A = this chain, B = another copy of it.
Amino acid sequence: MRSGPGVIRGIGDDCAVLRVPAGHELLVTTDFTLENVHFRREWHPPEVVGRRCVTRGLSDIAAMGGEPRAVFLSLALDRSVPQKWVDRFVEGLLAATDEFGVPLAGGDTAQSAGGIQADIVVVGSVPGGKAVLRSGARAGDWIYVTGELGGSAGAIARLRKGKVRARDYERHFHPTARINAGVWLRRRGLASSMIDVSDGLSTDLEHICEESRVGAEIEAAAIPRARVGRPLQQVAFDLALHGGEDYELLFTSASKIPSAIGDIPVSRIGRITRKREMALVDEEGNSRRLVAAGWEHFRARV
């Protein structure tokens, strides 16, 4: 366990004690990661499981425009899990948190009745009143997404057929939360709403539409489809549209956003509409209803 500038007391007491910057509000997110639901030991090396677990939480902080401050890990293991697995899991987790200077400040361990269960809590902060919510999208706003979509679903599809080389599916095996892009947008007040693409574009866009009480029109050709595999190939359109766990940021803005934030590409993929439904428009201008058909569907088959 590490400590950092915001952690006054880490493990070794009843609670961790953290300092929150003056004038900041606190962000808290929790994510349960379960063996054979979110990962498989034969598909995912322990370092990858650790990284993916904590990236889920870091990505939630990014989606609020926040900065992560501390991570807590609750880990339940059955007796069959070797210590080596745990060491490598924690190594992968710390490699991801170290990229943002975030300390692992505590947690809990327990003996499970079977398999591995990890619950990760990420605590972050954002200047008071500045958290970017899902509810701020307005008709006429542009819709943007960072990076590429469908890479993680593409990896799962390929894993079902046999072994893969992790480096050919970077976004699945080595995801990074878009903290810097989220902070960049929040500081400039550019994002009217934001969410991370964890359940899939169609589902996460629906979350924004519901919370903001608006609709959306997406240009099919504008969706940035991930290139994965060897040789590199674009994932199927449906994987980019519905596949989850890409941990990119989906946001809306009344402003034109540059085509990259730092070195992260940004694509403009559509527009928020007054009419409360989602539509997909093809290159000929034909529009069809877009129904959220998200990640749960895919993940149930992991």
Please report A residues at the B interface, Cβ cutoff 8 Å: 8-9, 12-20, 22, 25-32, 34-38, 59-61, 63-64, 66, 70, 72, 74-76, 105-115, 117, 119, 121, 123-124, 126, 128, 131, 133-135, 194-196, 211
The answer to whether A133 and B27 have CB atoms under 8 Å apart is no
Shortest CB distance A183–B (Å): 14
The answer to whether A29 and B12 have CB atoms under 8 Å apart is no
How far, in angstroms, from A196 to B109 measured CA to CA in the complex?
A: 18
Report chain B residues within 8 Å CB of A107. 30
The answer to whether B13 and A211 have CB atoms under 8 Å apart is yes
11 CB contacts below 8 A, A to B, read A9-B131, A12-B134, A14-B60, A14-B63, A15-B29, A15-B61, A16-B29, A19-B128, A20-B25, A119-B119, A121-B121
Q: Of A107, A108, A194, which is in contact with the most chain B CB atoms at under 10 Å from its CB? A: A108
How far, in angstroms, from A115 to B111 measured CA to CA in the complex?
A: 13
The answer to whether A37 and B111 have CB atoms under 8 Å apart is yes
Shortest CB distance A200–B (Å): 15
Report chain B residues within 8 Å CB of A59. 14
How far, in angstroms, from A121 to B61 measured CA to CA in the complex?
A: 17
The answer to whether B18 and A113 have CB atoms under 8 Å apart is no
The answer to whether A12 and B211 have CB atoms under 8 Å apart is yes
Shortest CB distance A42–B (Å): 15
The answer to whether A110 and B37 have CB atoms under 8 Å apart is yes
Given the known interface contacts A72-B121, A113-B114, the answer about A27 and B34 at a Cβ–Cβ threshold of 8 Å is no
The answer to whether B64 and A34 have CB atoms under 8 Å apart is no
Report chain B residues within 8 Å CB of A134. 12-14
The answer to whether A13 and B119 have CB atoms under 8 Å apart is no
Report chain B residues within 8 Å CB of A61. 14-15
How far, in angstroms, from A119 to B107 measured CA to CA in the complex?
A: 10
The answer to whether B31 and A27 have CB atoms under 8 Å apart is no
Given the known interface contacts A18-B26, A19-B26, the answer about A32 and B74 at a Cβ–Cβ threshold of 8 Å is yes
Report chain B residues within 8 Å CB of A211. 12-13
How far, in angstroms, from A8 to B22 measured CA to CA in the complex?
A: 17
How far, in angstroms, from A76 to B31 measured CA to CA in the complex?
A: 11
Given the known interface contacts A32-B119, A72-B121, the answer about A195 and B111 at a Cβ–Cβ threshold of 8 Å is no
Given the known interface contacts A29-B106, A74-B119, the answer about A66 and B15 at a Cβ–Cβ threshold of 8 Å is yes
Shortest CB distance A41–B (Å): 12
How far, in angstroms, from A113 to B115 measured CA to CA in the complex?
A: 8
Partner among B27, B31, B112 whose Cβ is within 8 Å of the Cβ of A108: B31
Report chain B residues within 8 Å CB of A109. 32
